[in-house]
Amino acid sequence: MRQPTESRFRVRYAETDQMGVVYYANYLVWMEVGRSDFCRERGFSYREMEGEEKAYLAVAEANCRYMAPARYDNEIVVETEMTRLNRRVVEFSYKIKTGSTLLAEGRTVHVVIGPDGRPRQMPERYLKLLQDKGAPSENH
């Protein structure tokens, strides 16, 4: 199986709370950074899929389990893997780390929708780009 996509950046001061710890909702933003990098690594961006095909990946479920705090100026690594793919659903899992410390683990489930907000199938080109890189898939 393919190595996870890695996204690297430093915690910005604005991401911390009054206690100097990263505010919990920022981890969901970091997952989005990981997802976007994952797609780019496979040859496309969300912007392309939305613009060319009018297909959107709506978040249907998101969760995050926090293990240790991140603080200002920590180098963060978000490891992103696709754990499920079919014509209507894509699932990603994330490990968020600083150094060897696991800060959080998360998961997001996305439903492919059209501009009308109704479910639709993933456009074939994007399905293939995701599948061609050793992704787990389901044939339905």
Catalytic sites, residue numbers:
17
Maximum Cα interatomic distance, the chain, rounded to a whole number of Å: 48
Distance separating alpha carbons of residues 42 and 48, to the nearest angstrom: 13
Q: Which two tokens stand for residue 121?
A: 């199938």
Lookup result for tokens 């199938």: 121
122 exposure class (CB count in 10 Å sphere: 0-12, 13-18, 19+): buried
DSSP assignment of 91-107 equals: EEEEEEEETTEEEEEEE
